[in-house]
Amino acid sequence: MFLASIAACKDTTPEGQDDWISGDTGSHDTVVGGNSYRYYHSYWYPIYNNMISPSTYAGSTDNDIARPGYTPAHGGGVETGGFGSSAHGGEGGGE
């Protein structure tokens, strides 16, 4: 049971929680209304400098991006990265 939960934990810490990423291997891009989007973990994200940021933007559905005038929303004004800066060089927080 413990090992199963470990696998589950790893699944919940995808690359998408970094700030800016390239996205999944095999992801595909599209352009709708002049805006570029990349498909990642079942949602579309705006592309900037060939990167996406699932931690900054809420993911959009097919219907969302098809709406005329649609603007991808920031994740509810959510800011990340405010904890964790004291750990460096692979050092953990435990002792």
Nearer to other proteins, 16 or 46 (CB): 16
Name the nearest CA neighbour of 32 among 68, 84, 79, 4: 68
Q: How far is the CB of 4 from other proteins (least distance, A)?
A: 9
Report the C-alpha gap between 56 and 8 in whole angstroms: 24
Could you give the CA distance from residue 21 to residue 24 in angstroms, rounded to a whole number?
9
Q: Does 59 bind other proteins (CB under 8 A)?
A: yes
Q: Segment contacting other proteins (CB under 8 A): 25-33, 39-47, 62-70?
A: 39-47
Other C-beta atoms within 10 Å of 52: how many?
28
Give residues in contact with other proteins (CB under 8 A): 1-3, 5-6, 9, 12-13, 16-17, 41-43, 54-55, 58-59, 75-87, 90-95
